């Protein structure tokens, strides 16, 4: 999948995409990470033939989506940001409809619907209308609908937004399985943890531009390996701490303050930790907490954009250890 210098402007003023480029090798997962309004959905809509770019090229499985949209539709599956399933139909009817519109013959689509309902743990609810489904069930059905025709290229636009933590983790494992089957996947997310967990490569987008790309660990390396994080009682004390700590860390701007938290980026964690304690002690500044940790993607985002990922605060708060890249198996 290739996106090459995509530009899309809405109403002549809103630059939803401002020259977005990325490439996804076959069978790998790209995480498009960015806050609300970054342009993620617009990028997905262009690549899935729903929206014509003002300029730039986009192709899926080698098929140009603008020149041959109908051919492109034959190789893609899309689960949009909002579960696009029919409330009034049952789970099975939804999948049968999609199967029929994909021109699977009757036997094939019935078999496929049954298999998918089973795989997504919806067999018991298969013949109930979606009015009785929970949010997590709808999302799973939406994902199942995207998979009916076994597309080699899949788009998931914020697949877990709005789900409770338990459903989110369930969905993650389903997506991991898919990826193991060799599907090429473009996943958009506001959750840094999600990109870290599922994607091989991450593109960070903000205001319609790719502002960074790389693997999760490459992005973390940009922050200089390790963070010493000091929590103080208030912002004033934190500002004083920044003064006391000037010069600590790898270079002159290693020390950053966010509210009452001060972070020092460093390649030599333990030594810096000792230095930090010594300096604060000498300055007579008491601190409420102190820890040495790997930078999270939240930190990366903050460093790259100068503002926090807006929705990150609503993501389930997780311990630093869970943020380590787990082998996707």
- Nearest approach, Cβ of 22 to other proteins (angstroms)? 19
Give the helix ranges, DSSP H, for 190-282: 192-198, 216-221, 235-244, 269-282
Phi, psi of 100 (to 5 degrees): -65, -40
Contacts of residue 37, Cβ cutoff 8 Å, sequence gap at least 6: none
| Residue 2 touching other proteins (CB under 8 A) | no
Kindly tell me which of 59 and 81 has the beta carbon lying closer to Mg ion.
81
At 87, list the tokens. Answer: 């409330």
CA atoms within 13 A on the CB side of 7: 9
Instruction: Find the binding residues for other proteins in span 95-114 (CB under 8 A).
Output: 97-98, 100-104, 108
Pairwise CA distance, residues 216 & 285, whole Å: 35
Using the contact rule CB under 8 A, the part of the chain among 6-14, 28-36, 48-56, 200-208 near other proteins is 48-56
| 75 and 142 Cβ atoms separated by less than 8 Å | no
Pairwise CA distance, residues 163 & 233, whole Å: 34
Contacts of residue 116, Cβ cutoff 8 Å, sequence gap at least 6: 95, 144, 147, 148
Using the contact rule CB under 6 A, the part of the chain among 32-40, 99-107, 233-241, 264-272 near ligand ADP is 32-40
Pairwise CA distance, residues 111 & 325, whole Å: 36
Out of 43, 85, 95, 255, point to the residue binding other proteins (CB under 8 A). 85
Total residues binding other proteins (CB under 8 A):
41
Out of 29, 41, 58, 237, point to the residue binding Mg ion (CB under 5 A). 41
**Distance from first CA to last CA of the chain, Å, rounded?**
23
Kindly tell me which of 10 and 173 has the beta carbon lying closer to ligand ADP.
10
Q: Which of other proteins, ligand ADP, Mg ion, none does 88 bind, CB closer than 5 to 8 A by kind?
A: other proteins
Angle at alpha carbon of residue 297, lines to 295 and 301, rounded to 5° = 110
Out of 26, 36, 268, 291, point to the residue binding ligand ADP (CB under 6 A). 36
Kindly tell me which of 108 and 304 has the beta carbon lying closer to other proteins.
108
Q: Residues 153-182 vs other proteins: string with x where CB under 8 A?
A: ------------------------------
Kindly tell me which of 42 and 226 has the beta carbon lying closer to ligand ADP.
42
Using the contact rule CB under 6 A, the part of the chain among 38-46, 210-218, 244-252, 310-318 near ligand ADP is 38-46
Q: Which of other proteins, ligand ADP, Mg ion, none does 65 bind, CB closer than 5 to 8 A by kind?
A: other proteins
Strand order across the beta sheet in which 226-231 lies: 255-258, 261-266, 226-231, 289-293
Q: Which of ligand ADP, other proteins, Mg ion, none does 64 bind, CB closer than 5 to 8 A by kind?
A: none
Out of 1, 3, 6, 16, point to the residue binding ligand ADP (CB under 6 A). 16
272-293 residues labelled b (16+ CB within 10 A) or e (exposed): bbebbeebbeeeebebeeeebb
Kindly tell me which of 40 and 112 has the beta carbon lying closer to ligand ADP.
40
| 292 and 270 Cβ atoms separated by less than 8 Å | yes
| Residue 13 touching ligand ADP (CB under 6 A) | no
Contacts of residue 247, Cβ cutoff 8 Å, sequence gap at least 6: none
Residues that bind other proteins in the complex, under the rule CB under 8 A: 45, 48-52, 65-66, 69-70, 73-78, 80-89, 93, 97-98, 100-104, 108, 129, 145, 149-152
Residues that bind Mg ion in the complex, under the rule CB under 5 A: 40-41, 81
């Amino acid at each position: 999948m290739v996106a090459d210098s995509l530009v899309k402007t809405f109403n002549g003023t809103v630059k939803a995409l401002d020259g977005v480029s990325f490439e996804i090798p076959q069978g790998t997962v790209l995480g498009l990470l960015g806050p609300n309004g970054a342009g993620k959905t617009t990028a997905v809509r262009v690549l899935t033939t729903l929206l014509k770019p003002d300029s730039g090229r986009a192709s899926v499985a080698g098929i140009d989506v603008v020149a041959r949209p109908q051919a492109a539709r034959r190789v893609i599956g899309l689960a949009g940001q909002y579960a696009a399933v029919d409330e009034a139909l049952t789970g099975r009817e939804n999948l049968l409809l999609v199967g029929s519109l994909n021109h699977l013959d009757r036997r094939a689509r019935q078999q496929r619907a049954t298999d998918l309902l089973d795989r997504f743990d919806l067999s018991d609810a298969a013949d109930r209308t979606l009015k009785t489904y929970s949010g997590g069930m709808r999302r799973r059905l939406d994902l199942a609908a995207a998979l009916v025709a076994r597309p080699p290229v899949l788009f998931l636009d914020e697949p877990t937004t709005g789900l409770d933590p338990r459903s989110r983790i369930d969905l993650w494992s389903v997506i991991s399985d898919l990826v193991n089957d060799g599907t090429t996947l473009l996943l958009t997310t506001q959750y840094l943890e999600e990109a870290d967990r599922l994607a091989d490569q991450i593109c960070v987008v903000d205001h319609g531009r790719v502002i960074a790309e790389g693997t999760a660990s490459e992005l973390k390396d940009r922050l200089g390996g390790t963070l010493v994080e000091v929590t103080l009682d208030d912002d004033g004390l934190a500002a004083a701490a920044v003064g006391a700590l000037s010069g600590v860390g790898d270079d002159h701007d290693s020390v950053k303050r966010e509210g009452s938290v001060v972070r020092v980026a460093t390649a030599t964690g333990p030594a810096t930790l000792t230095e930090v304690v010594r300096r604060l002690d000498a300055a007579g500044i008491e601190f409420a907490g102190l820890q040495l940790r790997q930078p999270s993607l939240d930190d990366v985002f903050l460093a790259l954009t100068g503002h926090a990922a807006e929705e990150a605060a609503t993501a389930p708060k997780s311990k630093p250890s869970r943020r380590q890249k787990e082998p996707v198996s």
